A and B are shown apart, each in its own frame.
Chain A
């Protein structure tokens, strides 16, 4: 496949691997691992969202619903039924795919702002429903008994296993994003983004293509969700369906450059480091939300194509490398 020779792919993969390996070589491994986990999770969420948002042009505010539902399904299987992690992860992926497929058929008919609102509605409905759903713990959620970590050789080992899985998944998302972008399928999606009616006239089966984009974008958050809540040791409705996190994912995609492979990566890394820095810096601790807001506004107003988009526009030769 000619795609393997494109430097853009290797750059994105190399950066992801670099971030993933950092905790192995850092002096404070545990803390570095926690930070890297957050960055990789953000990257996976942003990159998977990019498939729907950047390539297909459909703005989803409810991306986090797959993270939450997948997390719940997987956590339930691991905690209540004592199944191994990989079963939880695969089950989460399957349920998210199914949900996205069914949901997609219904709401992908909507365009623009209406679609965005529908995704918000879905997320809020899911959260309200789970809060009332007793098998999943209702409002109390579920907690993992500490002995579960012993199955994996103790908490330290379990955390590293979860981390490795997340790193692997993030690499997979980046790869998938690249493959989608450079395939005929991706071309169809981008045509839909530019002008859906014209695309249909030219032979792109829009409903089917959009649904597949939605399904692909849903599977990864679900798997990451299981690992995140496994690491956290508990899950509650209030943590699983945070609308704000959906919006943060959008911000990260925009920041880095939507519709590119590298964009969500850089956007996620930059955003998370910025937030992490603001939270612990004595100067900004009290106004970190305001500072984030101002930064975001500046970017939206003056650099809407995001970092990668701007670089590609400014330095055309870089387009080969910055996919």
Chain B
């Protein structure tokens, strides 16, 4: 039998070795020179998991911006410093578990100077905490939930129109298209984002005198909307609004069509603006959806002058052309969400004329500018700091063009409309 100490000593040695090898080698400090400076932009992307598609588009937009700025020679500050950008990113697997660990890594190990949010409100809420905890400016995009900005954060700035204003425009559109309609049904995916949207829309509709005949949620894993649709039909709504994300939204649209539901006005979240929505064929015709941005949207330096706003950045056409050239696909609003996050950062640095985080923050607080994405302005009150208050949704509808194939048209707001609303839905 081996003496006890022969066993104990190697065991303790083993423990010590494990402890030592678990230590990470220290990260090299970033190079700081007075003339050329590289700012690291840190973010996570959902390379796997259910947010994969939207997140990829968002990152494409961000990378397009970064390439444009770097190719143009970077940002030149008044003291001669030239700033270029580099990105550092990891896969968050569309799940929150790793988000905080990865953002902490970005903030502390990789020394990211600025953070961009992941895609989706849920993941962004987790990441925002880290940004706040480590005092890093974070621009959120792909995240519409209002709640994140009501928690007393000061470092987080939202690029998207908040959830509370997603469907309110649809109610306005309905009032414009058919003032005789009185009965609206709201049906929504039982998750954070959709619930926020329809709750705000319901309050708005009721304040305008509409009767909400149904207000009900369905579980995210619902595959068959048949029974639900029967329930909706039983309340005879004249307008139907709500939905959730792409998958359930498109299933829902398809089944509404199959069952021949009679409501004349049908507005869904998230799904309709996606180009792939047209795969539904006849079921997509007449469906309205709110979008953060559409390629058809007409924001130009001229319209900025008319509105009395400052213009910054490329025009929408230039962005679309560059995106198509780089990625061989049409940009969606997720794409421009990523792009404009970079544009906002760029403008803030130019306005601040420095890369000091406090100066950048001050510049963001003061920002009020028109871009190809629309107007960008942040709420600076203590209760809702960082909430996006300048940007509004545009509403698209799928209509048949002259060749008989489906195409998106902007139907609201009227200033940006490219076609009349098709009503009632065929």
Contacts and interface: CB of A to CB of B under 8 A. Distances in A.
Interface in A140-183: 140-141, 143-147, 149, 155-156, 159
A199 to B, nearest CB: 32
A317 interface: yes
B23 A38 contact: no
Interface in A23-57: 25-28, 30-32, 34-35, 37-38
B330 interface: no
Nearest to B126: A232
Interface in A233-289: 233-234, 236, 238-239, 242, 245, 269, 273, 276, 279-280, 285-286, 288-289
A228 B197 CA distance: 28
A317 B1 CA distance: 8
A162 to B, nearest CB: 12
A156 B2 CA distance: 48
A159 B47 CA distance: 29
Contacts of B4: 7, 320
Nearest to A289: B48
B11 A245 contact: no
Interface string B6-44: 011001100110110011101100000000000000000
Interface stretch (B64-72, B128-136, B288-296, B302-310): B128-136
Counting chain B residues whose Cβ lies within 8 A of the other chain, the interface size class is 35 or more
B425 interface: no
Contact of A28 (B22, B108, B129): B108
B108 A147 contact: no
Contacts of A187: none
Given A232-B100, A232-B129, A32 B24 contact: yes
Contacts of A231: 100
A146 B151 contact: yes
A240 B385 CA distance: 28
B96 A239 contact: yes
B191 interface: yes
B259 interface: no
Given A22-B22, A156-B133, A242-B95, A140 B15 contact: no
A11 B47 CA distance: 39
A19 B15 CA distance: 10
B147 interface: yes
Contacts of B192: 139-141, 236
B2 A146 contact: no
Interface in B192-231: 192, 195-196, 217, 219
Contacts of A288: 48, 91
Nearest to A245: B97
A236 B191 CA distance: 9
B96 to A, nearest CB: 5
A320 to B, nearest CB: 6
Contacts, number: 143
B153 interface: yes
Interface string A129-142: 00110000011110
Nearest to A147: B152
A314 B241 CA distance: 65
Contacts of B100: 34, 231-232
B133 A155 contact: yes
A198 interface: no
A19 to B, nearest CB: 7
Interface string B216-257: 010100000000000000000000000000000000000000
Contact of B7 (A7, A138, A149): A7
A26 B27 CA distance: 11
Contact of B122 (A147, A236, A269, A276): A236
A238 B191 contact: yes
B84 interface: no
Interface string B99-142: 01110110111000000000000100110110011100000000
29 contacts: A11-B11, A14-B12, A18-B15, A18-B16, A18-B22, A21-B19, A26-B23, A27-B26, A28-B26, A31-B104, A34-B100, A37-B101, A128-B219, A140-B147, A143-B125, A155-B132, A156-B133, A159-B133, A232-B100, A232-B126, A236-B122, A238-B191, A242-B97, A245-B97, A276-B101, A279-B91, A288-B48, A320-B4, A321-B11
Closest 8 pairs between A and B when the two form their complex, measured CB to CB: A233-B129, A18-B19, A27-B26, A146-B152, A155-B133, A34-B104, A30-B108, A140-B192
